[in-house]
Amino acid sequence: MVKVEIVEDKDQRSAGSSPYSSPSSSRTSSSASLSSVSSELDAEETFFERVSALVDIIPPTTRHAISTKVSNTASFLKRGGKLAGNLVWIITTSALLVGLPLAMSLEDEAKIVAEEKEMLARQQGAQQMISGVPGVPGSSPDMSQPKSLVPPGF
């Protein structure tokens, strides 16, 4: 049968007598120190302050590369936005200068055609009234059809 026993290292025994050593084990002291650190954090610290504290962690070459990429992206977006704005300006101005007069002339043409149709309808109505076409109001039925002889009593 196998017997398990804990063997302590010489350095750990001598470290226990050091004035800087703590009586608790290193595992519990590290977790205890982490919990004490999290409770000591400033609750009023902003996101910007946290990011600015990370400046020393990122090497200068990496920071420069990130800054360059962000700057290039911002410049590209600015140029793209300016180009899109110019295109929208050109399209709307062209639509106003060409499309609006065209729409007005088409509307005038439609109005003229409607007036011509109305004028023709008036002329035809006047001609029908003058000629006395049957079934048209204003014409007498005696004038349009000759009467046949009807025997008396019918």
> Does residue 88 carry a pLDDT above 80?
yes
Helix (H, G, I), strand (E, B), or coil: what is residue 25?
coil
Reference 131, options 123, 142, 120, 139; nearest CA is: 139
In this predicted structure, what is the pLDDT of residue 87?
98
CB 131 within 8 A of CB 142: no
In this predicted structure, what is the pLDDT of residue 1?
75
pLDDT tens figures, 92-128 = 999 999 999 999 999 999 999 999 999 999 999 889 8
Rounded-to-integer distance, Cα 60 and Cα 66, Å: 10
Reference 145, options 154, 129, 132, 136; nearest CA is: 132
In this predicted structure, what is the pLDDT of residue 113?
96
pLDDT tens figures, 21-78 = 555 555 555 555 555 555 455 578 899 988 888 888 888 899 999 999 999 999 999 9
pTM: 0.39
